[in-house]
Amino acid sequence: MGRPNIMIGVLAAIACEFIFGLSYMTTKFGMESASSIALLGWRFFVAFIAMSLAILFGIIKIDLRGKPIRPLLMVAIFSPTLYFIGETLGISHTTASESGVFLACIPIASLLASTIFLKKKPTKNQLIGILITLSGALFTVLSIGMESSLSLLGYLFLLIAVLSNAFYSVLVEKAGSYTSIEITYVMLVVGASVFGLIAFIEALINKNLEGLVCLPFRKPAFGQAILYQGIVCSLIGFFLSNIAISRLGVNKTSSFIGVSTVVSILSGTLMLGEKFSGLQIFGAGLILIGVYRANIGDR
């Protein structure tokens, strides 16, 4: 890889994780007004509309003519579809500490998937760095106390989320004949279709279809949450993630995942007034040391 490619990939990975780190705060605001399914449905609908308008007015361009769509659908099936289904249902059936421990294992799962399916063995620095980042993430999660739900169903859904994210990363790296914009657009089309339909069905069952449609207009906090999650997280965040994977590969990109944990802690402390203990500071420090160690070979 050329030096400019590495620099673009690193900046994209950091920006992506920064965006995702702030999303935890907006999720908290959004779920005060609606269910997680309604939030996901509106999130991907907004992202799909925003990107479709950008394509319509020529701000961004995609060209899928003559290209097989199946590889992109496979990417979209794993993320956002399976990942968010697994994460949402997993979190709802387990404790915060349990879900945090599972999701902290995503870099390791991505590393294994890259080794098995892409035949790309991690370097010594990458392996050590990711293990340090994992230990920092686990330390941060467990510093607030470990509670157990003993929900096998919840554990299964969280495992699905972890594996889905790993397979998504591998498939994006293999989709070299598509641009990051093309991959992102298909992800948003599938996400809007799947989660929009699920949200519609939930509203029908609860006889609250009008409430679902009017949510962003009646609840300002929900409207702000879906704008951030739809345009910034789903559109820009997925686009940056796809750029990072295509420029750096799965192994290097996965080393940056812990950055979102640090950002979520800082945002919770600075904007929500949540407590920030010394143990969390230590864990956040470990995460950043791990990110540096994993990329120490690149100036």
What pLDDT, in 10s, does the model give residues 223-234? 999 999 999 999
pLDDT of 205 strictly over 80: yes
Q: What is the mean pLDDT of residues 140-154?
A: 79
Residue scoring higher pLDDT (57 or 145): 57
Note the pLDDT of residue 192.
98
Which pLDDT value is given to residue 209?
A: 95
Condensed to tens digits (0 to 9), the pLDDT of residues 14-25 reads: 999 999 999 888
Collapsing DSSP to helix, strand or coil, 173 comes out as: helix
At 147, list the tokens: 């509670």
Report yes or no: 159 and 86 within 8 Å, Cβ to Cβ. yes
Buried-exposed string 188-212: b where 16+ CB fall within 10 A, e elsewhere: bbbbbebbbebbbebbeeeebeeeb
Integer distance in angstroms from the first to the last C-alpha of the chain? 13
- Average pLDDT of span 237-252: 95
- Reported as a pLDDT band with limits 50, 70 and 90, residue 1 is low
Task: Using the predicted structure, report yes or no on whether residue 108 has a pLDDT greater than 60.
Answer: yes
According to the model, what pLDDT value does residue 149 have? 73
Query: What average pLDDT score do residues 135-146 get?
Result: 82
Residues 146 and 143: their CA atoms lie apart, in Å, by 8
Closest to 208 (Cα-Cα) out of 88, 6, 33: 33
Residue of 19 and 141 predicted with greater confidence: 19
The whole-number average pLDDT for the span 265-279 is 78
Calpha distance 285→122 (Å, rounded): 23
Q: Tell whether the model's pLDDT for residue 7 goes beyond 80.
A: yes
Helices 238-248, 152-174: inter-axial angle, 10-degree rounding? 60
The pLDDT, as a whole number, for residue 299 is 52
Calculate ∠ Cα 147-152-158, nearest 5°. Answer: 80
Mean pLDDT of the 30-45 span: 93
Quick check: 275 pLDDT over 80?
no
- Can you tell me the mean pLDDT for 82-95? 92
Most confident of 10-14, 259-263, 274-278: 10-14
At residue 257, the pLDDT reads: 92
Share of the chain above pLDDT 70, in %: 97
User: Phi/psi at 234 (nearest 5 deg)?
Assistant: -70, -40
